């Protein structure tokens, strides 16, 4: 099973700042099948990024994904108030699919 480790656990930033979230895998992820999800309190997760760097339909270009093999990054270029949430990475290149433990982006 691939273990995904996200860092930091919590990121305290102000609106307008840049957020950089990391996701590290214990093994190479096949085909860079790495996704990022946003989850707000009381809501279901929402797909942001798939294939490590492709934005899902309707997702703002403030969100970008990068990385390959075992090291991946989600960048939010300029934080808007609605971006404060928990973010999860997930790999779907190997069975079983697995999620990281999440990074909470909170208002400083």
- Binding residues for another protein, per CB under 8 A? 1, 33, 35, 37, 39, 44-47, 50-51, 54, 56-57, 88, 90, 92, 95-102
Phi, psi of 87 (to 5 degrees): -120, 135
Residues linked to residue 73 through DSSP beta bridges, in sequence order:
22, 66
Least distance from another protein to the Cβ atom of residue 68, Å: 16
Least distance from another protein to the Cβ atom of residue 43, Å: 8
| Closer residue to another protein in complex, CB, 84/90 | 90
| Closer residue to another protein in complex, CB, 24/45 | 45
Cα 67 to its chain centre, rounded Å, is: 11
DSSP state of 81: G
| Closer residue to another protein in complex, CB, 37/84 | 37
The Cα–Cα gap between 108 and 103 comes to: 15
Tokens found for residue 87:
């973010």
| Closer residue to another protein in complex, CB, 62/92 | 92
The Cα–Cα gap between 23 and 14 comes to: 22
The Cα–Cα gap between 43 and 88 comes to: 14
Least distance from another protein to the Cβ atom of residue 88, Å: 6
Least distance from another protein to the Cβ atom of residue 80, Å: 22
């Amino acid at each position: 099973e691939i273990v995904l480790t996200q860092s930091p656990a919590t990121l305290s930033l102000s609106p307008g700042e840049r957020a950089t979230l990391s996701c590290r895998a214990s093994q190479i992820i096949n085909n860079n099948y790495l996704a990022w999800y946003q989850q707000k309190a009381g809501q279901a997760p929402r797909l942001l990024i798939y294939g490590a760097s492709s934005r899902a339909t309707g997702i703002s270009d403030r969100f970008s994904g990068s990385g390959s093999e075992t090291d991946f990054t989600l960048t939010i270029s300029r934080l808007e108030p609605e971006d404060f949430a928990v973010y999860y990475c997930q790999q779907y290149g190997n069975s079983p699919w697995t999620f990281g433990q999440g990074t909470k982006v909170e208002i400083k």
